[in-house]
A and B are shown apart, each in its own frame.
Chain A
């Protein structure tokens, strides 16, 4: 089966690309990146609620977002400057996770219509170094391991 989301991260490079085809018209896809309430909804998951502390969707704008867990504790905060904001075409921005050693990444989002009802997003993400890119790439892998580990502890705890 063809994967809908593709990640291309060549070894030894400080960038990567993420591409995805959507069963959505271009305008609707772009709206998912422009309306604060929709952005918050998309960034939230069963474990955390996302909130935009600041969002200026325009050229030379900026943003700041945070996620809180069920107890209201802030688990994630990120911010960045928006360089270009061209409706239905392109967004370029920086992204930085606050209080982490991952540095700044430059993100270039390109939106294109495939048909009247389908569209495509091309993301090009450039990191400060090869090492930093690899650290970020490994993050979900490490989290996955942690989650598996916690789950095992949880199950093991019940067996006691």
Chain B
């Protein structure tokens, strides 16, 4: 598969985020997804292609129809990507709180 796109670039677009929300509840065909948007069908197809290329969506064939569904593993990757940054600040703030509490209790002694 051609992985030329960055996941974060993929979710930077509001329409693509809306598509991810749509298929989060159930797998849908391209036609059913497109019916939810004012945008032209080929534009939606392009969005679906990008989301599929970066593994956020998976395609599944049922008879003659292709269904798109969310790839939860890839979504987890996005959620965890910010987590080390948050953790770094959380650690820093925890240290601040501990040190200031020591100062506070020393003062009241």
Residues of A within 8 A of B (CB): 3-7, 9, 11-12, 18, 20, 22-24, 28-29, 31-32, 38, 41-42, 45, 121, 130, 134, 137-141, 143-144
Is B96's CB under 8 angstroms from A32's CB?
Answer: yes
* Dominant SS among interface residues on chain B: helix
**Alpha-carbon gap, A42 to B101, bound state (A):** 12
Bound-state CA distance A22–B12 (Å) is 32
Per-residue CB proximity of B4-24 to A under 8 Å, as 1/0? 000010011100010000000
Interface check B45, CB cutoff 8 A? no
- Report yes or no: B86 in contact with A6, Cβ–Cβ below 8 A: yes
A residues in contact with B82, CB < 8 Å: 7, 9, 137
A4 CB contacts on chain B under 8 angstroms: 90, 93-94
Does any Cβ of A come within 8 Å of B99's Cβ? Answer: yes
Q: Does any Cβ of A come within 8 Å of B62's Cβ?
A: no
Q: Which residue of A lies closest to B98 (CB)?
A: A42
CA distance A13 to B47 in the complex (A): 20
Q: Is B65 in the interface zone, CB < 8 Å from A?
A: no
A-B interface pairs (CB < 8 A), number: 73
* Chain B interface residues toward A at CB < 8 A: 8, 11-13, 17, 81-90, 92-97, 99-101, 103-104
User: Complex: how many Å from CA A156 to CA B82?
Assistant: 29
Which one of A4, A11, A18, A144 has the greatest number of beta carbons of chain B within 10 Å? A11
* Chain A proximity of B103: nearest CB distance (Å): 7
The answer to whether B99 and A42 have CB atoms under 8 Å apart is yes
Q: Are B89 and A41 in contact (CB under 8 A)?
A: no
Q: Of A5, A134, A139, which contacts B86 at CB under 8 A?
A: A5
Which of A12, A24, A140 contacts B97 (CB under 8 A)? A24
Instruction: Please indicate the chain A residues that have their CB under 8 angstroms from the CB of B100 in the complex.
Output: 22, 24, 28-29, 31-32, 38
Would you call A141 and B85 a contact (CB within 8 A)?
Answer: yes
Q: In the complex the two chains form, what is the Cα distance from A45 to B81 in whole Å?
A: 23
User: A12 to chain B: which residues have CB within 8 Å?
Assistant: 12-13
Q: A11-B17, A134-B8, A144-B84 are in contact. Are A24 and B101 (CB under 8 A)?
A: yes
CB-nearest residue of chain B to A25? B104
Decide if B88 touches A140 in the complex (CB within 8 Å).
yes
